[in-house]
Structure 1
Amino acid sequence: MSRFSARVEAISISGIREVFEAAGEDAINLGLGQPDFPTPDHARRAAVDAIEAGEVDAYTSNKGTRELREAIAAKHARDGQSVDPEDVIATAGGSEALHLAMEAHVEPGDEVLIPDPGFVAYDALTKLAGGTPVPVELREDLTLDPAAVEAAITDETAAFVVCSPANPTGAVQSPADMREFARIADEHDVLCLSDEVYEQIVFDGEHRSPMEFGENVAVVNACSKTYSMTGWRLGWVTSTTDRIERMLRVHQYVQACASAPAQYAAEAALSGPQDVIDEMVGAFAERRDVLLDGLADMGLETPTPSGAFYAMPRVPEGWVDAVIDRGVVVVPGEAFGANGAGHARISYAVSVETLKEALEAMRAATRATR
């Protein structure tokens, strides 16, 4: 008998983490998937006040506090979506929300269609649920083509994943695409799992959710990127009542409830002033343009990212290693799937000054690998 399960043996440590560990301590890190801004003061204060008032010493409801779920529902209402607070589960970040959705919907042997390149967790969480990830190649502009998704659906397909704005590409799906994804999910009776954690960080176009257009959708979101709260580990999942009930069965055993202090902070972030988002998005837009101009000057082709805080240029062989050797961490595209080969993911969640310093290292690497 094997000492470890086949499911866990099918996955490995993320390639992103391997790059971090290989880099020097003083390296400029353009591999991090988190904003470089502080959590809003009113969110921090809400957590401190709740701690000092003794309101966080016990479990909350499995789904999260009623007040937090009402704040999440109100956020969706601002976006033109109707969500019942009873159909929300507060989770330990968006990662747990993805895990719940996979565990509740994927049988051993089921297929899950995932974007390639795409966020590393989609492949791993599918395998942990006993499923088979099926990569779907992206368009030239690095968006996911609904026609390609529909063509890949088989009798074994349980779900497909959409991420917009996308990690690792920064691509934003059009409203027409999102409507098509919803149609595909409904007509083929499969789940559309929509990862929307970067939804507020959009520079060009607009974010729309497939939840607006269909029933067979589960939306994963979090405070992590929008409010710079990655360390607080507070996300949520919302879907139809029957799907939420099944996901709750998993959540109550693996997590019980999300961290109580984080729930109070998230409620305040969602309900309080939202101008911090505009300030952050404005800064990211400026950095994006600095990065794109620098990459263009090197002759590197980069599809223009319309959201998130990543760019994914096409790079020469050996470029990533050459950049890392020069003290700048970037992530090889193949860490996000086979179709990411020949690309690199660059996070511009650093200051303009730091970005310009990193670009000098990239220029030297580009000269050395051409």
Structure 2
Amino acid sequence: MMMAAGALAAATMVVTTSGCAAGNDSGSGSGGGGEEVKIGLVTKTDANPFFVKLREAAQKQADAKGAKLVALAGAFDGDNEGQVAAIENLVTQGVKGILITPNSSSGILSAIKNARDQGVIVIALDTATEPADAVDATFATDNLAAGVTQGKWVKGALGSKTPKVLMLDGTPGGTVDSLRHKGFLEGMGLSEDSSEIAGKADTNGDQTKAQTAMENLLQRAPDANALYTINEPAAAGGYAAIKSAGKESAVSIGSIDGSCVGVANVKKGVIGGTVLQFPAKMATSGVDAVVAFAKDGTKPAQSFNDTGSMLITDKPVDGVESKDTTWGAENCWG
């Protein structure tokens, strides 16, 4: 029943758009026989702004290359069965390549293998598979490094204060969630059992859940002075709880995402610093790789391709590279 539900959810989320006609001057969108290149995209959900941006960028690049994009998504964050059904759907439709942001880095492996065995190139975006060589290539943020940057900034923002840290995590077991969490602690110079950690809560990256979780955490640790957040919606929810408690000047908030809304929140002081990612670059690189493969069988030379990240803050600290919110507004989710 879960598989059927996932398949139905995936099937109802199809987005197909034809690009320019194959056979244009560049021929970049044509396979060896001159046929239109069909590219599949499978995101974790179709509602999260990050994946909306990724899909829009993939569509724009597919149009530019004369290719056709078929976009599917899981029904919710963590819907591995929905993504499995989406891959099977896309293979049946005859795509040349599939771009996927895996909900489960290991749970999706069998479906990916079946697609590759049928000659489909599979490229991970945003989230690497485990093992990494289960796909032909990955274009993603180095989330461990991004977490380290967030942690270093929060530590620097605290100055000489002894950290009392609260953590608003994402989804338990998620690869990206785990890497960011681990990186933040590394950047702070802490471990999971450090006494400086006053509380943790899972939020699934949801603003409302984050606000409720933060309200509860503040009741247990009213003197907290630092907040880790898995993403900017969680940061906004955490800030709402902090503001309601009258503690907005007492807590340094770090985050990761780099959306235009997130950058604006840094400028307004809602978030102290956020690590900007480049989902448009991930999507564009992925589309280009599938088109190249369709044209002459070329595959990306590197297994993991770091699409970069940059700390955005108007309160820079020594030893941590950053850009201000003006730069951030010009480059958000580029």
State TM-score, norm by structure 1: 0.31
Q: Which structure has more RCO (C-alpha within 8 Å, separation ≥ 6)?
A: 1
Higher strand share: 2
State TM-score, norm by structure 2: 0.34
